[in-house]
Chains A and B, each alone.
Chain A
Amino acid sequence: MTAAAPQPSLMRAKRPSTPRQKIGTVLWFAAVVLISITTVFPLVWTIVTSLKPEGEILSSSLQIWPDAPTLENYVRAWTSVPFGRYFFNSTFLAVAGVVLNIFFGSLAGYAFARLRFRGKRALFGTLLSSLMIPGIVTMVPTFLVLRRFPFAGGNDLFGEGGMGFINSYWAVILPGAAGAFAVFFMRQFFASMPEELAEAARIDGASEFRIFAQIYMPLATAGAAVLGILTFQAGWNSFMWPLIVLSDRSMLTVQVGLAAFKSEHTTDYGPLMAGTVIVSLPVLLIFVLAQRYIIEGVAHVGSK
C-alpha cells in the first residue's frame, strides 16, 4: 500500500512521527480504503456485469473481468427500448432546466441581493419559506394546474377539453424553471459583491439591466456554473415527477425508461446493467470533469 508515501514531507514539517501515529495512519488508510470499496465497487461491478455474456453473469458473478467481454448487452438494451429517444428527452429537459434556472435564478437573485424595491423582503421571505414545504403537498395540485392550464394542449379558457401541458416537455420545464433554490443560491453570490461597482456605473448612466448583465453577472459565472451542474444532475436524475406527468412512451426520460425496462426484464441482469451504465454516463462524466466545483458547491450550500 502507499500508506505513508504521500505524506513524508508533511510529517517532517511538523515533528517526527511516533510509532503510534504510524499505526494510526495505517488504520486510517485501511478504513478509508474499505469505505471506498463499498462506495465504488458496486459501480465497477455494474460495468463488469454489463460486459459479460449471459452465461457468465450468474455462474461467475464475482469474477472481476469477463472471460469473453461483449457489447451484446448494450446492443440488446439499446434496441429493445428506444433509449435514443429517452436520451434526447432527458437531455432536452435537463439542459432547459439549467438554462432557465441560471437565467431566472440570476435575475431574481440579483434583484433580491442588490436592488431596492417595495415588497422585496416579503417576497424573498415567502420564497425562502416555500423551501420548507414538502414536495408532496403541491404534487397533486401542480398536476391539475398543468392539466387545466388555459389554452394549452387543446384546453379552452377554463382549462377544459384537453390534457393541458400533461405529456409535453412543459410539464417538467415550467414548474422547475425558476426554483426557489436557484434564486437563493445566486442571491448569496450577488450579496457578497461590492456595491461601489454599481454606484459608479449608475453615475455613468448605465441602466440597471446593463449593470446586472455587464458588471455583476460576469463576476458570478463561477456560482452560475456550480448551479448549472447541480441543476443538470438533479434534472437528469429526477424520477417521480417525470413518471407522473410524462406517461406517453415517446416522452419518457432515461430514468423512467430504465425503471420500465427493469420491471419488464427483471432477471436480464446483463442488459439491465448496460442500461444503468448508459443512463449514468452523462452525470458520471460531468462529475469526473467538474468534481471540484460540485464538491465545493455542495459544501457552499450546506454552510448557508
Chain B
Amino acid sequence: MTTIQPTAVSADAMDVATREPQATPRRDRHSHPFRRPDPQELWGWLFVLVPMLLFLTFVIIPVVMAVVLSFTDYAVIGDVGWVGLENYRSILDDPIFGLALRNTAIYTVMFVPLGVLVALGTALLLNRDSRAVNLFRTFFYVPVVASTVATATIWYWLLNPQSGLFNIVLGWFGINGPAWLYDSKWAMTAIVLMSVWSGFGTNMLIYLGGLQGIPRELYEAVRIDGANAWQSLRYITLPGLSRTTFLISTLLIIGAFQVFDQAYLLTKGGPGNSTLTVVYYIYNQGFGGLKMGYASALSFVLFLIIAVFSLINFRLTSRSQS
C-alpha cells in the first residue's frame, strides 16, 4: 500500500465509519467488555516492547541497584555486606572527596556563566539578516564536531608552555604565559576554557532558535518608544529568552558537575589533584579501586547536589522572568 488514493479512500472511510462505529477512535472503548480488543492495544505494546525491555535493564534496574549498592561494601571480589549508612558517613570524612567537590564547584562556577555568555553573545552576533551568517554559524559550530579526545589532544598542544599557540600569542603582548596544565593554579582554568570552546556551538544554535521565536513587532514597538539597542536587549531579548536560558543553564550545570573526560585527558587530575573532579574520583573508586558500593554512594551524593543546584537555578531563572 505504497500509494493511497485520498479521494477514493476518504469516500469509503465515510461509508464504513457510519456502519462500524468502533473504527473511530473512542476513549471509552477500553471499558466496554463485549467489543473485540483494540488492535492498537496489542501493536502499541509490541512496538515499545524491546525498547522498554532495554530501558528496564539498563536504566530502571541500574537506578534501583545503585540505591541498594550504596548501602553495601560491594567490591566485585569477596563477600558483600550490608553496611547501612556507613558509606555515606565516610563520604563526610573523606578529604579527597571534599577536594574533588571543591574542584568541581570551581569548574562549575567558571564554566556555567561563561558557557551561557559565550553562547548568548555569539547567537546575538549571528542573529541578523545577512547571507554571511550561515557561513559563520558553521565556523562557530566546528569545535562541537571534534571529539573531546581530539579537542584535548589539540589543546594539549596549544597549551604547551613553550611552543604552544596560547603562550606565543600572549608573548606578542609582552605577557609571560603560565605553564597552564603544569601549574596547579591554572590547570582548571585551562580545562574550563577548553570546555567552553568545544561546547558553545550547540547552545548557540539553541539560542538562535530562541531568538527567532521573539516577535519582531516587539522590537519595532520599543524602537518607536525611543529605546536604544541596550534597552531593547535588556527589556525584550533577554526576557524573551528566559526559557531558553533556563534550558541551557540547566544542561550546563548537569554537565559541569559530571565533568570527567577533559580532566582525565588533559591532566589526569593533576597537578597535585588540582583538577580531580567528583566523577573522576567516582571512576577511580569504582573502577580503579573496585569499591563499587562506595562509588554508588558517591554518585548519589553527586545526584543530590546536581538536583539542588538545578532547583536553585530554576528559582533564579523563574524569578528573573517575572
Are A141 and B61 also in contact (CB < 8 A) when A108-B47, A178-B54 are? yes
> Which residues of chain A from 225 to 257 have any CB-CB distance to chain B below 8 Å in the complex?
233, 236-237, 239-240, 244, 255-256
B interface footprint on A98-126 (CB within 8 Å = 1, 0 otherwise): 00000011011011100111101001001
B148 contacts chain A at the CB level, 8 A cutoff: yes
- Our pick among B2, B210, B287 for the contact of A244 (Cβ within 8 Å) is B287
A39 close to B139 (CB less than 8 A): yes
A167 contacts chain B at the CB level, 8 A cutoff: no
Which residue of chain B is the closest to A138 with respect to CB atoms? B62
A157 contacts chain B at the CB level, 8 A cutoff: no
Are A130 and B55 also in contact (CB < 8 A) when A38-B197, A255-B147 are? yes
A23 contacts chain B at the CB level, 8 A cutoff: no
B149 close to A279 (CB less than 8 A): yes
A117 CA / B42 CA spacing, docked (Å): 7
CB distance from B212 to the nearest CB of A (A): 9
B303 close to A108 (CB less than 8 A): no
Are A115 and B40 also in contact (CB < 8 A) when A7-B131, A136-B303, A141-B66 are? yes
Sample of 12 more A-B contacts, CB < 8 Å, known A61-B164, A137-B63, A142-B62? A6-B132, A32-B136, A35-B136, A117-B41, A141-B296, A177-B54, A200-B6, A239-B265, A259-B149, A262-B152, A283-B146, A295-B137
Interface residues of A (CB under 8 A from B): 6-7, 10, 28-29, 31-32, 35-36, 38-40, 42-43, 45-46, 49, 57-58, 61-62, 104-105, 107-108, 110-112, 115-118, 120, 123, 126-127, 130, 132-145, 174-175, 177-178, 180, 183, 196-197, 199-204, 206-210, 212, 214-215, 233, 236-237, 239-240, 244, 255-256, 258-259, 262-263, 269, 272-273, 275-276, 279-280, 283-284, 287, 291, 294-295, 298-300, 302-303
Q: List 8 A-B contacts (CB under 8 A).
A: A49-B157, A117-B40, A127-B55, A137-B303, A139-B282, A144-B69, A201-B4, A302-B202
Interface residues of B (CB under 8 A from A): 1-2, 4, 6, 9-10, 12-13, 16-17, 23-25, 30, 38-45, 47-48, 50-52, 54-55, 57-63, 65-66, 69, 122, 125-126, 128-132, 136-143, 145-150, 152-158, 160, 162-165, 168, 197, 201-202, 205-206, 208-210, 213, 244, 247, 254, 257-258, 260-261, 264-265, 268, 279, 282-283, 286-287, 292, 295-296, 299-300, 302-303, 306
